[in-house]
Amino acid sequence: MSIYKKILVAIDLTEEAPQVLNKAVEISKAHGAELMLVHVVEPVGYAYGGDIPMDLTELQDQLDKAAKEQLAGYGEKYNVGKDNQIVTVGRPESEIHRLSEEQDVDLVVVGSHGRKGFQLLLGSTANGVLHGTVCDVLAIRIQ
């Protein structure tokens, strides 16, 4: 019996995403686990603190659409079906916590830049995911 049945891979859609995905796919194959890809788009209003008196809906919609297209490309490359590709809007840590519980995930895989100093071991998102997820979390070191 496998330890992991469902693995959620949270990626940031940068050129570093394949480093995280390649390891997640290996783990998924080794355990015969279902793989889910997740990207969290932060609300545009967060960047401006809500201080801009304009409607940012169209910009947010464009970001969501672009993220879905990129995630679909990764889904195709890594054989992850559309039902297991999720783009959501919110704070990455909170959304990953929510999805991992809703989807009954056994393992969350995230990338980590391994910064020094304040973010000594994990990036802020990876650290936030670790300190609130009820399942195992694996941080993949980004080279």
Model pLDDT, residue 108: 95
pLDDT at res. 133:
83
At CA 24, angle to CA 82 and CA 113, rounded to 5? 115
Instruction: Write down the pLDDT at residue 48.
Output: 57
pLDDT of residue 47: 55
**Domain residue ranges in the chain:** 6-141
Q: Which parts of the chain register pLDDT below 70?
A: 1, 45-54, 113-123
What pLDDT is attached to residue 114? 57
Considering the domain 6-141 in this protein, what is its CATH number? Answer: 3.40.50.620
Cα–Cα dist 77/74, whole Å = 5
